[in-house]
A and B are shown apart, each in its own frame.
Chain A
Amino acid sequence: MDTSQLLKGVLDLAVLAVLRDADGYGYDVLRRLRAAGLDDVADASVYGTLRRLFAAGALTSYVQPSEEGPHRKYYGLNKTGHELLARSTQTWNHFADTMSVLLLEKEAA
């Protein structure tokens, strides 16, 4: 099964999750997702997701100069973002539980 197909549905949740602990810029978010084991995540879709979450009002954005030189656009969760993360987490847990039960039943059968 192709993980990249699964990722498409949960990328919002994954991005919100890596921003929960600390604000990050696009490439940083990408690295954190990879470090967490989501190797198949497509670069462009992470940037697109950040953009959409920002447009939806779930993220704050600010520019900060980096040590290496270029300014970087940081994203962070605002109140809406935290609420969205909480709701999405519930939805995911429910979904994952359902799937797990389904798969267990199939295995048991």
Chain B
Amino acid sequence: MNSTLTGAVALYLAQVRAELSDLPPGELEDVLQDVSDHLTEVAAEFSAEPTLNDLQQRLGTPREYADELRTAAGYPVRTAPVGKDHLDAGWKALRWGLIASIVGPFFIVVGIFAWSRDGTAFFGLLGLGILFVAAFLGVQALRGNDPRIVLDTPRGARGAAAIRGWIEQIPPHIRHELLTIGQPVWWVARGVIGGGGFFALFGAESVTVVGAIAGAAVSIWIGRKTQRDRRWLWYVVPLNVIAAIAVPSFLAAAYAGASFGLFDNYNSYRGSSNYSPPENGLVLNGTQVSNIYPFDAQGKQVPVRLYDQDGNPIGLEVQDCATSYGQESRDTTSNLFPQAVVSPDENGDSGPDNCKDTTKAPFVPPPAPATPVTPSPAPSPTPKPSVGVTTPKPTPGATLTVQPTR
């Protein structure tokens, strides 16, 4: 059985495959199944796992083995020298595969950092472009050969043997569990995070759950497809590399319970989990301020524009008829106070048809103080206002924390 071959046995089989690569594909697979069975039996003769040298002493070199097999089976003598074209194709396909799996994900990771810093998507798109173009060229380089020809190239065979070596480090029962449980879990995880992450990144948070479910379905489908047609590996391996970076990052971010630095761009949360994010708008002692009604020293209502110490307008979202019923964008802000608000009619109705705005204060101000407040003749460079006004963010809709004078 091919799947259970490891180490030197797999390497030996790969070399026999290379020697017989001129056979018609169906015949090649059949005869290699025989060879695989044979090598499994031979390996069992050894008390420990045989080395390549052990196998060569027992069976001859892979070339000698293949020649014996060829003669006895009556296959035509090999005309072309051992798969020159074949090895070239295998190596080209392998090379494009490596570019897709290493260079593509590298630029995508760089791209995500660049994007989180200054919103440029260039590197991310470059990475995706490299990934898919290289994967496409890799599949093209196979020129219709079986994808396994990459294992016949010296680098491919060495790489495969090395990977098998690592896999052998895992105890067999865990290996089995990983394959039967780990693989479906991985398929779902990469699909959920890929699909969900895609929509979340592009600002469609409301459909993130749908995206995650769709992603999982697509991921499972691709996994099944890849098991049947190994050419998909040229796309799947690089995408898995990205998923292998993204899934742990996402889980780590989720575990920390805070937004990851990477996602600041779309996420309004700042800081760590024990810091509750400030609410938008104006806040006085923790209560939302929805409007400001300025009165002058004589107790007369006046319109004013408000600015903070840096000259940034202190504005609120406008909630008049135009914005409430759709003629204006809902997030229009204005720093002209008092702002007009929707005034219900005598029946308490405020429908879109008969909507009226008012700037009249819904209260009667207390009488003006007996001694009118006069502005100090020479204000100090940093005047101490009677109310402390702090603005954490110089943006519209900023938080104002107004503290009472002590």
Contact = CB atoms under 8 A, between A and B. Distances in A.
Interface of A: 8, 11, 25-27, 42-52, 55, 70-73
Contacts of A25: 37
Contact of A42 (B37, B42, B68, B73): B68
Contacts of B4: 70
A60 B110 CA distance: 60
A62 B280 CA distance: 75
Given A27-B41, A44-B68, A70-B1, A49 B73 contact: yes
Interface string B1-29: 10010000000000000000000000000
B66 interface: yes
The SS class assigned to the A binding surface is helix
A44 B69 contact: yes
Contact of A47 (B34, B60, B64, B74): B34
Which of A42, A44, A52, A73 has the largest number of chain B CB atoms within 10 A? Answer: A44
Given A25-B37, A43-B38, 10 more contacts: A26-B38, A27-B42, A44-B59, A45-B71, A47-B73, A49-B72, A51-B31, A51-B73, A52-B73, A70-B1
Interface residues of B, number: 25
A73 B71 contact: no
Interface string B30-42: 1101110110111
The SS class assigned to the B binding surface is helix
Which of A27, A43, A49 has the largest number of chain B CB atoms within 10 A? Answer: A43
B65 interface: yes
A73 B69 contact: no
A48 B69 contact: yes
A45 B68 contact: yes
A8 B66 CA distance: 16
A26 B34 contact: yes
B37 A72 contact: yes
Contact of B34 (A8, A42, A51, A71): A51
Interface string B72-111: 1111000000000000000000000000000000000000
B164 interface: no
Which of A27, A47, A48 has the largest number of chain B CB atoms within 10 A? Answer: A48
